[in-house]
Amino acid sequence: MLNLLLNSSRNTKKALFLCFDVLVLPICCWLSFALRYEDWTARDFAHWPTYLLAPVIAIPFFIRLGLYRAVIRYIGYKAQWTVLKAVTLFLLVWTLVSYQLGLEVYIPRSVFFIFWFIAVFTIGGSRMLARWVILQQFPGGKLQKVKADAERVLIYGAGAAGRQLANALEQSSEFLPVGFIDDNPELTGLDIHNLGVYRSDRLFDLIDRFDIDTLLLAMPSASRYRKKQIIDALAGVQVRVLTLPVVSDLAGGRVSIDDIKEVDIADLLGREEVQPQQSLLDACIKDQAVLVSGAGGSIGSELCRQIICQKPSVLILLDQSEFALYSIEIELSEAQAQRSELQIVPVLGSVLDEALIDRVLAQYNVDTIYHAAAYKHVPLVENNTVAGLRNNVIGTLTLAQSAVRSSVKNFVLISTDKAVRPTNVMGASKRFAELILQGLSKREVDRSGIRFAMVRFGNVLGSSGSVIPLFRRQIKAGGPVTVTDPEITRYFMTIPEAASLVIQAGSMGSSGDVYVLDMGEPVKIYDLARQMVNLTGLSVRDRQCRDGDIEIRFTGLRDGEKLYEELLIGGDVLETDHPKVMRAQEEMLDWRDLEVIIHQLSIALDTFNHEEIQELLLASVNGYDPKG
């Protein structure tokens, strides 16, 4: 019998509780009179209208206040608070109606107070008793795992992924699924895994009613724009947001609890990736020998992952970090275990080692170089000018000249938006590297036939040194989250998208071209920090919310840091065959003039002559303003 009740529909359970209340309220009335008069008989029929009036008044209040909407197995203090409100409001109206009907001669005022305690105990206690029975009915089973510290989860998405996820969560002691939200009106009102499906416009009501801790986005095929809409709508709501990977990342199309992860910060941008053009991906890679410098870094490693998918004959991994090189070699070797024809060659060394570079390029007859090796952290390079310029400028020169001598066909430099009117040494060094390749391309136009390309873009999400992992660490530690300035903005792109566009841009146009990636709209770092705090279910502590969980602290702009980044020095760009790639029209220096400056810079670096270094950068890098 009990199993039959437990497996009945939600509406049946609601009806049972409603009938229980209709029957028990008159009994509560009689018990109130009995306690007041110490008379346990029901011989005074004059009180019976009062008994019968109680459920007539109470039930509409109970329905209106949502007493029958609560899911018994998840009932908590909020439901008990609802019982208190419902009984109190009913009692006030019941008292008023009783006196208006002239029944006061039969009802002492104390009866109403006695009734309040009995009704609260009976109505509220019946729900808690039902919850206890349900939990005891399944010892060691899924409902036994309901714990006070388990996270109450509302699943957004009642499709296949959401249903599989609900089933997985039922077996977990960490999460308690309490219902579904779905945009599809045809699913509204359904019971799935004994959980109700609700309209998306009831999201905030459900979060409050069910005391939701976590909203789980089970929409692996939804667009980033749609996910961003949902996340933006939750601004200010203290609920943690988790998600599932995209469909292609789910093993076998099945969903398990291990697939749950934090919201991809890319979803906060709402930026949809453009389908790559296969011809551009293949042009400089397929059946060719490819070298990636800085192969163990954020961009370099992602370039390697995507390059092996285009079937090169040889992939050479060049990095001066032993650990980074080992990590990416192991990862790629495991990924390519079934493709014995691909040769992966790890090379431990620096782009400044001319002899090593010459030997590697000649030995493997390299066709294409992706130059991602660079020191990129603005404050570090600002305080280590000589090391930064030697690696970023002289290293690029060494690798490029070796590529010319070894008849390499394609050389692609990964540049940065900080090269545009730079205010720091790192940005100036990257613009200088661009000038070197522009100068060499002009010199070699009728000689070696090598094609130099430069690809310029902004910040990538999740790279080493990015604010994203920094913010995550700070939030996990309880704050504060540090932002340099409330108005600072940056362009952002995901690492996979950036790497894909670098490969495609590097296959375009003629030698010496500078390409700019469409980064979308700039993002205010302060807004990003607030969203990341909110996504963890915490609140920001500020003037409007002094009891918030996490403080956002402004530390001031660092040396060489700009409020706003740019992607172009000039104002004109030309369209290319790819909608996300544009070609910039930038000025260049004649190679003979540049050779003189490079020679002078090398001497200044060797002698640590910082004044001479600054003068050379000011003379050669257009727009360089170290005081900006």
Q: At what angle do helices 591-606 and 425-443 cross, to 10 degrees?
A: 140
What residue type is assigned to position 257 of the chain? I
Structure tokens at 486: 């409330």
User: E strands, 360-402, where?
Assistant: 368-371
Alpha carbon distance 552, 544 (integer Å): 13
421, 381 in Cβ contact below 8 A?
no
- For 62-73, give the DSSP string: HHHTTTTTS-GG
Q: What is the pLDDT of residue 490?
A: 82
pTM for the whole structure? 0.68
Residues 6+ apart with CB under 8 A from 86: 58, 61, 62, 65, 67, 123
120, 84 in Cβ contact below 8 A?
yes
Residues 6+ apart with CB under 8 A from 367: 284, 288, 289, 290, 408, 409, 410
Looking up tokens 């490969």 gives 503
Q: What is the pLDDT of residue 329?
A: 95
Strand order in the sheet with 240-243: 191-192, 195-199, 175-182, 151-156, 214-217, 240-243, 261-262
Among 268, 260, 263, 322, CA closest to 295: 322
**Residue 334 burial (C-beta neighbours within 10 Å; 0-12, 13-18, 19+):** exposed
Q: What is the pLDDT of residue 417?
A: 85
Alpha carbon distance 20, 125 (integer Å): 12
The CA angle 265-292-506, to the nearest 5 degrees, is: 75
CB count within 10 Å of CB 603 equals 12
DSSP 276: P
- For 280-326, give the DSSP string: HHHHTTTTSEEEEETTTSHHHHHHHHHHHTT--SEEEEEES-HHHHH
Looking up tokens 């049972």 gives 16
Q: What is the pLDDT of residue 301?
A: 95
82, 90 in Cβ contact below 8 A?
no
Phi, psi of 293 (to 5 degrees): -85, 145
35, 114 in Cβ contact below 8 A?
yes
Q: Which helix (H) or strand (E) segment is 455 a member of?
A: strand 451-457
Structure tokens at 610: 């910082």
194: left (phi over 0), alpha (psi -120 to 50) or beta: left
C-alpha R_g of the chain: 34
For residue 552, the cross-strand partners are 481
Q: Which helix (H) or strand (E) segment is 196 a member of?
A: strand 195-199
57, 29 in Cβ contact below 8 A?
no
Alpha carbon distance 124, 253 (integer Å): 44
Q: How far is CA 20 from the centre of its chain?
A: 47
Alpha carbon distance 361, 410 (integer Å): 12
Q: What is the pLDDT of residue 46?
A: 60
Q: What is the pLDDT of residue 391?
A: 97
Domains of the chain with bracketed CATH: 2-137 (no CATH), 147-264 (3.40.50.720), 278-620 (3.40.50.720)
Residue 167 CB-half CA count within 13 A: 11
66, 209 in Cβ contact below 8 A?
yes
Residues 6+ apart with CB under 8 A from 192: 158, 162, 163, 166, 180
Among 433, 416, 404, CA closest to 377: 416
Alpha carbon distance 291, 392 (integer Å): 17
Residues in the chain predicted with pLDDT less than 70, given as ranges, are 1-11, 13, 39-50, 66-80, 98-107, 131, 133-149, 194, 245-259, 270-273, 338-340, 462-465, 560, 566-572, 628
In the chain, the N- to C-terminal Cα span, in Å, equals 78
| Beta pairing class for 540-541 and 550-554 | parallel
User: What is the per-residue pLDDT across 350-398, written as a single tens digit (0 to 9) for each?
Assistant: 999 999 999 999 999 999 999 999 999 988 999 999 999 999 999 999 9
Taking the C-alpha atoms of 606, 612, 617 and 620 in order, what is their torsion angle to the nearest 10 degrees? -100
Alpha carbon distance 273, 297 (integer Å): 22
CB count within 10 Å of CB 20 equals 15
| Beta pairing class for 175-182 and 191-192 | unpaired
CA distances from 328 to 287, 292, 415 (A): 21, 12, 22
